[in-house]
Amino acid sequence: MSTPEPPPPPRTPPSSEDKALGELVIDVSERTSTLIREEIELAKTEVREKIQKLLQGSVVGIAAGVFVLMALAMFMHGIAWLLNHLFFSGDVYAGFLIEAAFWLIVAAIAGLIAYRSFQAGAPPTPDLAIEEAKRTKETLEAGTVKSSLANPPRTSGVTRGVPE
C-alpha cells in the first residue's frame, strides 16, 4: 500500500505588493488593447477619407469630362471647317485629320496627368496610423529596455553555480 500524500500547504493570500503588480499588469493589458483598437479605428478612418476623396475627385472629373467633350466636339467641328476653308479648299478630310491629331496629343497629356494623380492617391494607405503605431512601438520598446535595466532579473540564491 502506498502512503497517502500529505495535502498541499495552504496558499497564502497574495501580498499587497503582488496584488498591486497584478492590477498593474491588467491595467497595462487593457490600455494596450484600447490603444490597438484606437489605432485600428484611426487606420480605418484614414483609409475611408482617402477613398472618399478619390471617389469624389473621380466623379467630378467624369462630369467635367462629359461637358468638355461636348464643347470640344462643337469646337473641333468648327476648327476643322475653318482649316478646310482657309487651306484645303476641296479636301474636307484634311482639316478633320489635323484636328484629330492635335486632340490625340492633348488627350495623351491629360492621360499622363491623370495617371500621376491616381498614383499619388493610391493605394490609400493609412500613413498616419502606421506612423503612430511605429512611435508607440518605439516608446514601448524603450520603456521595456529601461525597466529591464533598472530591475535586473533576480537570481535564486545561486551565483555562477555557487550557492550563497
pLDDT tens-digit map of 110-159 = 888 888 888 777 676 777 778 888 888 888 888 776 666 666 555 555 55
**For the chain, which residues make up each domain, given as ranges?**
19-130
Task: Report if pTM > 0.85.
Answer: no
As beta bridge partners, residue 52 has none
Rounded distance between C-alpha atoms, residue 109 and residue 69, angstroms: 16
